[in-house]
Amino acid sequence: MRGTGGGQLQGKRIIVTGGAQGMGASSVRAFAREGATVVAMDLQAQQGTAAAERIAKETGGDVAFLAADVSDRAQVFDAVSEAAQRMGGLDVLVNVAGVQRAKPAEDLTEEDFDFLLNINLRGTFYTNQAAFVAMKPAGSGAIINFGSDSGMTAIRGLGGYSATKGGVHAWTRTVALEFAAHGVRVNTVVPAMKTPMTESGQADGRGNVYAKTPLGGALGDPDRDLAPVMVFLAGDGSRFITGQTISVNGGLGMVR
């Protein structure tokens, strides 16, 4: 099924991981408003289903939900295949799903590393691979990964997280080069947004890892500050952009 009504993304078929809340849900909402057909994915099935139903009602868009664990390769490939079949193809993948643990580097455990690597890095590998398989026959598509300022510069207490996000940045550049021959673009977004993850960090004493942004001091609002950029990167206006890091972070970290 395709989205109904007008909009910048009319007819686009989009998957968003981490779509149950925060930046993922905000992206799903923005895409639906712009006419796209969207399948949200998340490990939190009840929350994800409720979010998809709420967004569909708010926007009048075609929004569905599939439960999937991005750290499980088989689940990812099955879910992406099911979503692509439902929508009649796949034009855009947005991989928002991610986790964070803030600890001094010497205190990180094997379990901490596994948790961060499995979701942040393996999740990016698997979702990108599965999306490319779905996009390759059509010779076009866009993949948007989520990086972090901590993947480009040192932020105290985020050693494990920064290692995984640095990996996301490096992976994105490589697959952007490889996938370009098949018309598939891959870019990384670096956000500094107010989300449930950043709020929980402030609540448990990790607020000091989030420096004040030059533009207004506070973290951004996902709907107002991030969503328009996501719509642009998912649309045809960004057709000549690939392998890039796009920071939507109020100047918290300046890429170049």
Each residue of 209-252: pLDDT tens digit?
Answer: 555 788 877 889 999 999 999 999 999 999 999 999 999 988 78
pLDDT in tens, 71-96: 999 999 999 999 999 999 999 999 99
User: In the chain, what are the domain boundaries?
Assistant: 13-248
**What gap in Å lies between CA 75 and CA 248, rounded to an integer?**
30
Does the predicted TM-score (pTM) go above 0.85?
yes
Output the six-digit token pair for 249.
């972070």
Catalytic residue chosen out of the listed positions 77, 146, 161, 179: 161
Q: Which residues in the chain belong to E strands, given as ranges? A: 13-17, 37-42, 62-67, 92-95, 141-146, 184-191, 245-248
CB 11 within 8 A of CB 234: no
Q: Return the CATH fold of 13-248.
A: Rossmann fold (3.40.50)
3 state DSSP class of 95: strand
Q: How long, in residues, is the chain?
A: 256
Tell whether the torsion through CA atoms of 220, 161, 25 and 254 is positive or negative: positive
What values do phi and psi take at 186, rounded to 5?
-140, 125
**Helix (H), strand (E) counts: the chain:** 8, 7
For the segment 13-71, what is each residue's pLDDT rounded down to a tens digit?
Answer: 999 999 999 999 999 999 999 999 999 999 999 999 999 999 999 999 999 999 999 99
Provide the β-strand partners of residue 17: 41, 95
Q: Is 161 a catalytic residue?
A: yes
**Angstrom distance (rounded) from CA 95 to CA 240:** 20
